[in-house]
Amino acid sequence: LIRRQIDATLIALSPHLDDVVLSAAATVLRWPGRRLLVSVFSGDPAEPPSGVAAAFHSACNLGHDAMLRRRLEDFAACEVLRCEPLHLEFREALYRTAANGESEIGEEGELFVASAARQDDAVRMVAETLRRILDEHPFSTVLAPLGHGCHRDHIIVRQAIEHLCYPIFAYYDDQPYEWWGRPRGPRPPDGYVHKMRKLHADGWETKIRALGCYASQMRMLWGQDWKQGFEIDHRQAGGIREEGLWVRV
The dihedral of CA 33, 126, 217, 73: what is its sign?
positive
CB of 19 to Zn ion, least distance (A): 4
Return the sign of the alpha-carbon dihedral for residues 43, 188, 190, 5: positive
Residue least distant from Zn ion (Cβ): 16
Distances (CA, A) of 211 to 59, 76, 89, 94, 198: 17, 10, 22, 22, 17
User: Shortest approach of Zn ion to residue 214 CB, angstroms?
Assistant: 11
Residue 157 to residue 145: CA distance in whole angstroms: 7
**What DSSP string describes 207-246?**
HHHHHHH-HHHHHHHH-TTHHHHHHHHHHHTT-SSEEEEE
Q: What angle do CA 123, 127, 132 make, to 5 degrees?
A: 160
Q: How far is the CB of 174 from Zn ion (least distance, A)?
A: 7
Nearest approach in angstroms of CB 200 to Zn ion is: 26
Rounded to a whole number of angstroms, the minimum distance from the CB of residue 212 to Zn ion is 18
| Amino acid at position 141, single letter | T
Residue closer to Zn ion (CB basis): 16 or 91? 16
Question: Is the Cβ–Cβ distance between 210 and 25 less than 8 Å?
Answer: yes
Angle 203-241-9 from CA coordinates, rounded to 5°: 45
Which residue lies nearer to Zn ion by CB, 33 or 229? 229
Q: Which residues of the shown chain bind Zn ion in the complex (CB under 5 A)?
A: 15-16, 19
Q: Which is nearer to Zn ion, 40 or 142 (CB)?
A: 40
Q: Which is nearer to Zn ion, 9 or 175 (CB)?
A: 175
What is d(CA 179, CA 237) in angstroms, rounded to the nearest whole number?
5
H/E segment holding residue 51: helix 51-59
Nearest approach in angstroms of CB 45 to Zn ion is: 16
Q: Which is nearer to Zn ion, 11 or 150 (CB)?
A: 150
What's the closest the beta carbon of residue 154 comes to Zn ion, in angstroms? 6
Residue type, 222: W
Closer to Zn ion by Cβ: residue 150 or 208: 150
* Residue closer to Zn ion (CB basis): 137 or 158: 158
